[in-house]
Amino acid sequence: MTPASGGTADAWLLVLAVIAPAACVPLALALGERGARWLALALAPAGVALAAAITAAVWRRGDALVYVLGGWAPPLGIALRADGLSAAMLLTTAVVIGAAALYARADLDPGRGAPESRASFLFWPLLLTTWAGLNAVFVGSDLFHLFVALELLTFGAVPLVCLDGRPATIAAALRYLLFALAGSLLYLLGTGLLYGVYGTLDVVLLAERVRVEPTARIAAALMTAGLLAKVALFPLHLWLPPAHAGAPPAASAVLSALVVKGSFVLIVRLWLDALPGLATPAAAQLLAALGAAAIVFGSVLALRQARLKLLVAYSTVAQVGYLFLAFPLASATQLGSAAWTGGILQAVSHAVAKAAMFLSAGLIAKALGHDRIDGLAGVGRALPKTLFAFGLAGLSLMGLPPSGGFMAKWLLLRAAIDGGQWWWALVILAGGMFTGGYVFRVVARALASTGEPPTLRSPVPRHLEALVLALALLSVAIGLLPFASFGLLQIGRPS
Amino acid sequence: MSAATLYGLCAALLAALGLYGFVVQPHPLRKIVAFNVFGGGVFVVFGVAARRGAAAGFAADPVPHAMVITGIVVAFVSTALAVALLLRLHAETGRASLRLDEPGADERGDGA
């Protein structure tokens, strides 16, 4: 990057990706419920188009897009930067947010003539805030900018948890916020130390200046620990299940699919882009060990849940573990890029599959009036499309071909075996088996035959069933992409 | 001992006290107070970085000051949000502890 000449062509798209949802937040607050809903629904397709345009621009260029804010080059100013990882995450975010908005339009609608409720109104500005925060995290290239973006994300996500105002969800939101606060201060402390030593927080400049020394190591450890609390990696996962299971389905989908990934992307930025060569193999092994523990504990707890939404939430705890298996595999093998591609593909395919899962669980819960797994018998006959979507998403989480989850886990598995770290291969295989166990438990129960089909409390709108099915099919279709397209994820990676 | 070193030690002490309090205090309000003590320590770290003049090469680098102001605003907003949630929890349940937040405790039969 040449600081003087400023940014690259098409880089204004990055500014738009952050500004558009952020500018719509005050507008949505001013417009009231109906206006906010239409604003968000209109922005969703525009957001998908914008993310696709950014992806195309990164692909065409073969290098990262850079926008230098106000013409002030780092280290004095800050830059926005979008590489292949950013592009993939921006696109995933736009698709999942769009799906959640479509779902919420039907789910949270108070009905014609009914007075607007707090939840049905506030969902929209909070959704837009979360979107702005996520986009700012994905295009950020300055560690302090990333701190502010992460906080914006937290302030959007925490109120989404307690939208319905029940005491249990308020307590869950408060616990989530406390974990997030501790995490952000640890991150900020590391940022302060790095600035004190190197005099810059720009990711690219920092990578040039950083040396292997105790201060940098301590800063990296503090920041990683803080971010792990926000990703909810075992053993810092305690806040996640009640928070994600208590929220309305559309909010759960956004929280589980996207919000935790924001912090994950930041960890990748930190380890790979900002502070390369700083992490010891032992540190990477430790991260992966925590990931392995998350896979085992999360899956076992998911198997034991009595309620469908909690099962799906514990499944997130387990699936987040896979993301961290990429760290030792990438540093130790010739196939490092394969391991990273696998890790990022896991983030993307889990996002789509988990959104499909939460939304289909929401449809089932709304139709039955409860989400007890024991009471699901006959759902297979009453809501075949919804259950099929749940099963397809589960297929992707298990890692069965030809799904996106299969590609992700296969790449990780190959990196583990080729790199001689066979113990992680065992974890990946065992995790797939566990996932199969809890998905099968739900599907088997729902397909169990009863004398008569269960009485549905409310009919399920056709278009919502189609929406959920489309998301589930998308999570499978990611696995059918031509292999060359995964090269996108390598664009802008330091080699 | 230079002033910057003294401030640095002070920052470390505040951050350590705050983090310790945050971890061991079970009551959410005490956690929020501890968070602010921890935050105070972190902000002083930025002050030390400014005093030592990391990037500018001269004492009193202004960039950390700009960052600390943003950090204080963020910490203020976080505190306000946490206190608002806690007040709402107290108004709804008459308690201000996180004890009753077992996942779906009010609607679920068995524990996990």
Question: What digits encode the pLDDT tens for the residues A76-108?
Answer: 788 999 988 999 999 999 999 999 999 998 887
Please tell me the least confidently modeled range out of A60-64, A304-308, B108-112: B108-112
Average pLDDT score over residue span A224-232: 93
Q: Where are the domains of chain A?
A: 289-483
* Residue A406: partners with Cβ closer than 8 Å, 6 or more residues away: A396, A399, A400, A479
Average pLDDT score over residue span A329-355: 82
Look at residue A331 and tell me whether its pLDDT is greater than 80: no
In percent, how much of chain A has pLDDT > 90? Answer: 51
| pLDDT tens, residue by residue, A416-434 | 888 888 889 999 999 999 9
Distance from CA of A457 to the nearest CA of B (A): 18
Average pLDDT score over residue span A361-371: 88
Instruction: Give the C-alpha separation, B34 to B36, whole Å.
Output: 5
What is the dihedral angle through the alpha carbons of A473, A476, A481, A486, rounded to the nearest 10 degrees? Answer: 120
Look at residue B111 and tell me whether its pLDDT is greater than 60: no
List the 26-85 stretch of B: residues with Cβ below 8 A of A. Answer: 28, 31-32, 35, 38-39, 41-42, 45-46, 48-49, 52, 54-56, 61, 63-64, 67, 70-71, 74-75, 77-78, 81-82, 85
Between the alpha carbon of residue A354 and those of residues A96, A236, A456, B36, B98, the distances in Å are 10, 20, 24, 35, 28
| pLDDT tens, residue by residue, B74-101 | 999 999 999 999 999 999 888 777 765 4
Look at residue B15 and tell me whether its pLDDT is greater than 90: yes
Q: What is the pLDDT of residue A136?
A: 95
Q: Are B103 and B112 in contact (CB under 8 A)?
A: yes
Q: How confident is the model at residue A2 (pLDDT cuts 50, 70, 90)?
A: very low
Amino acid letter, residue B12: A
Of A114, A117, A98, nearest to A164 by C-alpha is A117
Structure tokens at A435: 């996932």
Q: What is the pLDDT of residue A1?
A: 42
Q: Does domain B3-93 have CATH number 1.10.287.3510?
A: yes
* Residue B38: partners with Cβ closer than 8 Å, 6 or more residues away: A182, A185, B14, B15, B17, B18, B19, B21, B22
Q: What is the pLDDT of residue A383?
A: 87
Instruction: Give the C-alpha separation, A210 to A73, whole Å.
Output: 19
Look at residue B112 and tell me whether its pLDDT is greater than 50: no
Tally the residues of chain B: 112
Look at residue A272 and tell me whether its pLDDT is greater than 80: yes
Is any Cβ of chain A less than 8 angstroms from the Cβ of B104? yes
Q: What is the pLDDT of residue A379?
A: 84
Q: Which residues of A216-249 are buried (b: 16+ CB within 10 A; e: fewer)?
A: beebbebbbebbbbbbbbbebbebbbbbbbbbbb
Choose between B38 and A109: higher pLDDT: B38
Q: Are B60 and B78 in contact (CB under 8 A)?
A: no
Average pLDDT score over residue span A183-188: 94
Look at residue B19 and tell me whether its pLDDT is greater than 60: yes
Q: What is the pLDDT of residue B102?
A: 47
Q: How confident is the model at residue A283 (pLDDT cuts 50, 70, 90)?
A: confident
Instruction: Give the C-alpha separation, A73 to A293, whole Å.
Output: 43
At A193, is the secondary structure helix, strand, or coil? Answer: helix
Q: What is the pLDDT of residue A153?
A: 95
Q: What is the pLDDT of residue A174?
A: 93
* Residue A67: partners with Cβ closer than 8 Å, 6 or more residues away: A7, A8, A11, A12, A14, A15, A79, A80, A81
Look at residue A167 and tell me whether its pLDDT is greater than 90: no
Q: What is the pTM of this model?
A: 0.91
Instruction: Give the C-alpha separation, A424 to A416, whole Å.
Output: 6
Q: What is the pLDDT of residue A116?
A: 63
Q: Which residues from chain A sit within 8 angstroms of residue B30, using beta carbons?
A: none
Q: Are A371 and A307 in contact (CB under 8 A)?
A: yes
Is any Cβ of chain A less than 8 angstroms from the Cβ of B103? yes
Which 8-state DSSP code applies to residue A140? B
Q: What is the pLDDT of residue B109?
A: 35
| Beta-ladder partners of A372 | A307
| pLDDT tens, residue by residue, A284-319 | 889 999 999 999 999 999 999 999 999 999 999 999
Which 8-state DSSP code applies to residue A452? S
Q: Are A171 and A162 in contact (CB under 8 A)?
A: no
Alpha helices in A199-238 (DSSP H): 203-209, 214-231
Structure tokens at A292: 């392995």
Interface probe for A, chosen from B69, B74, B89, B90 (most Cβ of A below 10 Å), is B74
* Residue B9: partners with Cβ closer than 8 Å, 6 or more residues away: none
Instruction: Give the C-alpha separation, A18 to A151, whole Å.
Output: 14
Q: State the greatest distance between any 2 C-alpha atoms of chain A, in Å, as a whole number.
A: 75
By CA distance, what is B96's nearest residue in A?
A171
DSSP H/E element including A68: strand A65-68
Average pLDDT score over residue span B49-70: 80
Please tell me the least confidently modeled range out of A147-151, A331-335, B47-51, B55-59: A331-335
Average pLDDT score over residue span A23-45: 90
Q: How confident is the model at residue A491 (pLDDT cuts 50, 70, 90)?
A: confident
What is the dihedral angle through the alpha carbons of A452, A457, A462, A464, rounded to the nearest 10 degrees? Answer: -120
Residue contact A246–B104, C-beta within 8 A: yes
Q: Which among A174, A182, A192 has the least Cβ separation from residue B22?
A: A182
Distance from CA of A193 to the nearest CA of B (A): 7
In percent, how much of chain A has pLDDT > 70? Answer: 95
Choose between A61 and B38: higher pLDDT: B38
Would you tell me how many other CB atoms lie within 10 Å of the CB of residue A83? 24
Q: Where are the domains of chain B?
A: 3-93
Look at residue B104 and tell me whether its pLDDT is greater than 50: no
At A305, is the secondary structure helix, strand, or coil? Answer: coil
Instruction: Give the C-alpha separation, A486 to A488, whole Å.
Output: 5
Is any Cβ of chain B less than 8 angstroms from the Cβ of A156? no
Question: What rounded mean pLDDT belongs to chain A?
Answer: 88
Look at residue A211 and tell me whether its pLDDT is greater than 50: yes
Q: Are B75 and B81 in contact (CB under 8 A)?
A: no
Q: What is the pLDDT of residue A334?
A: 55
| pLDDT tens, residue by residue, A199-210 | 888 888 888 888
Look at residue A403 and tell me whether its pLDDT is greater than 90: no
Residue contact A167–B85, C-beta within 8 A: no
Is any Cβ of chain B less than 8 angstroms from the Cβ of A184? yes
Q: How confident is the model at residue A72 (pLDDT cuts 50, 70, 90)?
A: confident
Structure tokens at A186: 């640890």
Q: Are A238 and A313 in contact (CB under 8 A)?
A: no
